[in-house]
Amino acid sequence: MATFDFCIIGCGKQGRVIGNRLIDRGHRVSCIDISEENLNLFKGTGYKLSIDDEKISEILRDSKVVINALPSKFGIKGLSKIIEAGKNAVDITFVEEDATFYDHHAKEKDIGIVIDAGIAPGLSNMCVGYAKANIGFLKDVRVYVGGIPKEPMPPLNLVVHFNPEDLLAEYERPVRIVKNWQVEFVPPLYGIEEVKFNDKTYEAFYTDGLRSLTRKRWAKNMFEKTVRYKGHAEWIKSTDKEELLKILKEYAKKDIEDMMLFRVVTEGTEKTLTFELVDYYDAERKETAMSRTTGYTALSVAELMLEGKVSQKGIIPPEDIGKDENLFNSIKNRLLEFGISLTFASE
């Protein structure tokens, strides 16, 4: 019998928020990380191990559900360990590789792994799945999402929530959008438009966040854009790569109070569903809005897996979770328990 309800691989900004809150909710949780500093911030049982350590498979087998929260460059290694151990899992590593390659391996082990289960990709895909199930034909899907400081902090005006190299890759990676049912590649940091949240105007530009949605092509036109303070994209484009990485690493060390701005517009021929979420830094728990919205989405999915409510096997994209109205509403309600309010309106 498994000793732990959950094992988290990676005890960084996302992993420990998930782990500590799961413990608060009465679960037995372990965590694996190479950094003793990270493990010291975790309230449960910690294992100081490299992802290549053979002991990891044994630790995973001693848990019911695994949450993969490694940096993206190690994500596939974590995924391989999970499949080897034969455990249901939730993955928020956002790997560049195609995780669906492992679908048949997961099915052979009779396990389900929900990939990209964060805020965007993740909750954004779930909203699209819910809209597809309720509207049917989708003409346009527009995703706007950004974790930014509550107040501008020049020159970057940004909170670095993830590994700086991973964030830099987001700004460099060609962006997949869907136009007239076809996948097209456009440059990142382009397609700039103004968007409003709470009567304030920001800018939004293309980033590669549709992920698995580009495979399904559930809408005639689809894109994701990242929300930032105005002028951010041009500043990034005009800054030398080495200098930019240096600044990103400096910002990664800062404790910045942030906010999460999130909107998904799903438009059919006769009906439009608009999903919206605005969340803020939790000063009491010292949790960023990004870690809250990413982590607690993953946590909600992981709890549903523990409860046996996610029955699909193989590699499961988040939009498949959203298509199930009961699962979608359960995630929405669990997020509300953490003070995260996802609203949606029909037009």
Q: Where are the domains of the chain?
A: 4-114, 123-287+339-346
- Mean pLDDT, the chain, rounded, equals 94
Please give the sequence-ordered ranges of beta strands (E in DSSP) within 137-271, or none if there are none: 138-149, 175-179, 182-186, 193-197, 200-206, 219-228, 258-267
Q: How many CB atoms lie within 10 A of CB 118?
A: 28
CA angle (259 as vertex; 160, 128 as ends), nearest 5: 95
**CATH number for the 123-287+339-346 domain, one of 3.40.50.300, 3.90.380.10, 3.30.360.10, 3.30.1360.120?**
3.30.360.10
pLDDT score, position 219:
96
pLDDT score, position 1:
57
Q: What is the pLDDT of residues 82-123, one digit of tens each?
A: 999 999 999 999 988 889 999 999 999 999 999 999 999 999
Q: What is the mean pLDDT of residues 41-52?
A: 96
Q: What is the pLDDT of residues 133-144, one digit of tens each?
A: 999 999 999 999
Using pLDDT thresholds of 50, 70 and 90, give the confidence band for residue 347.
confident
Architecture of domain 4-114: 3-Layer(aba) Sandwich (3.40)
329's CB contacts (< 8 A; 6+ apart) are none
Position 18, amino acid: I
